[in-house]
Amino acid sequence: MFKVRPIAFISIAVMGLAWWWFRNDKLPEPQPIEITQPSAEEVPSVVTLPVSFPTTEAPNAAIKVVEAVAQKPHKNPYSAVAPDLAQYRKEVSENPHDTPESIQNFASSLAPKMKRAKQNLDAAQMLFPDLGSCAQTEDALNAVRAICATNAATLAKIYPNELQTRYIELYDSLPEKIRVMLSSNPHDPQ
């Protein structure tokens, strides 16, 4: 016989939670767009774009926004919402049969971004590097890394021409302990 690892139950529960969230038709509240300009100090700035531009400034303003987004450095944006090991262990020791609440909250925090990315290629291309960075963060929990990698795989399946090659590179860069937690191998024939 084979053994079922506890992390398999956690992964299934997280995927079920993500499925429930994605099928829900709630739209998130509009948020200001964060635009960072790389500089010597890398000081981020938050810019709230006006609803409409004056017609003489529209082309230049749009170009500046696109350039700022394209130059955004990709760091792990999820470290603030990802659970730490102590919190995770505490939750598992209190209730070892359910997915820890911190993992559920982390998956829920990704859900609105994934919903937008599933509907829009540009959003997917902006989110994909963040998911890759999250999946490659060595000091993150394995469950968190697997959630990020699974979401990256989902986007690669939706947009294979644009993201499949990047997902294969991401998958190949992950350690074996993370790869076994993923539901599919991009190298397997479909």
Domain coordinates in residue numbering, the chain:
1-21+74-184
* Predicted confidence (pLDDT) per residue in 67-100, tens digit: 444 444 345 566 667 888 888 899 999 998 998 9
- Residue 187: which pLDDT band, with cuts at 50, 70 and 90? low
- What is the arithmetic mean of pLDDT over 135-141? 88
Backbone angles phi, psi at 158, to 5 degrees: -75, -40
* 58, 147 Cβ separation under 8 angstroms: no
> Residue 6: its pLDDT value, please?
67
Q: Give whichever of 18-22, 37-41, 142-146 has the largest mean pLDDT.
A: 142-146
If 0-12 CB within 10 Å is exposed, 13-18 middle and 19+ buried, where does residue 124 land?
buried
> Residue 34: its pLDDT value, please?
61
pLDDT at residue 168 greater than cutoff 80: yes
CA distances 9 to 6, 111, 151, Å, are 5, 20, 18
Which pTM does this prediction carry? 0.58
- Residue 166: which pLDDT band, with cuts at 50, 70 and 90? very high
Which of 104, 116, 94, 114 shows the shortest CA–CA distance to 144?
104
pLDDT at residue 12 greater than cutoff 80: no
> Residue 81: its pLDDT value, please?
75
